Amino acid sequence: MSDQMSRRGFMGAAATGAVALAGFALAGCSSTSASSEKSSEKEKAVKPVILVTSFGTSYNDSRHITIGAIEDAIREKYWQDYDIRRAFTAQIIIDKLKKRDGITIDNMTEALDRCVEDGVKEIVVQPTHLMAGLEYADVKDELDKYADKFDKISLGDPLLTSDDDYKKVAAAIKENMASFDDGKTALCLMGHGTEADSNADYAKMQEVFKNEGLTQFFVGTVEAEPTCEDVIAAASAAGYKKAVLAPFMVVAGDHANNDMADETDPDSWAAKFVAAGFEVTCLLQGLGQNAAVDDIYVSHVDDAIAKL
């Protein structure tokens, strides 16, 4: 499986291939255009860009079916009118992929510079962040530097923005974890956590689950609050003895595999739940694998395009 291909990739790739072949055939029919006319046609042919910007992950399998799935969902809708491109913001991940796998991925500055060099006039940047935290602010700050480089710029919202977004995410997670929802199991979601004010979004997500009658769901974080201990205490107080642990993150990467699921690490969520007497199952699936979540990102692209 190529780095750009995921469950939605075949449709996008096939459509793109068809367009490429058509373009080749048309190009082959024209041999009399003046160089100035060719240059003018080239400028007209430059599509606006949707730059899907992610933190990134070095877990190749997860990247294909999470970040790749979001990109393909966007590509599936917009491939005819937009060039869909990728950027990562974590340079350490970009460097690791280059050294380990020979995979080259632009950071945001490189991706934006490439768009400028290609003559792109309109750009939509759609982050795959869950919330408007520090990383989202960094993306906005970087994009602001290019305000005079494009005719039109628009920045899409993160996953959890409107009240409707929260409800849709809750419904999507409920559906995805339905097979574990037997009335006897706590369904525990591990988010990253942040020092930014947006850390309150985890508490809001918990409140939405409660308001939707989904009291079997518990939300915590690795690096902030609510802590793993908070989640264990809440699940225990509710009378649960079994727990399914799943990442509340786009990708099931390092945090999910190590901080959540590694029972040999006494500091992991899995080990702490076991020590507290829970029967534990770990679900190593990122939110990007959930098609209903991917569709929320697509709707945010819709909104961003409408603002151009």
Annotated binding site for Co(2+): 192, 223, 255
Instruction: Record the tokens describing residue 201, joined without a space.
Output: 């979004």
* CA 149/CA 109 separation, integer angstroms: 13
Tokens 């060719």 -> residue = 38
Question: Beta strand pairing status for 185-191 and 242-247?
Answer: parallel
* CA 78/CA 60 separation, integer angstroms: 25
- 3-state DSSP assignment of residue 156: coil
> Could you say which of 64, 129, 192, 300 is catalytic?
192
Binding-site positions read: 192, 223, 255
Query: Residue 45 region, left (φ>0) first, then alpha (ψ -120 to 50), else beta?
Result: alpha
* CA 51/CA 111 separation, integer angstroms: 8
DSSP string spanning 173-203? HHHHTGGG-SSSEEEEEEE---SSGGGHHHH
Report yes or no: 247 and 190 within 8 Å, Cβ to Cβ: yes
Give catalytic status of residue 129 as yes or no.
no
Classify residue 282 by its DSSP letter.
E
Q: Which residues are catalytic?
A: 192
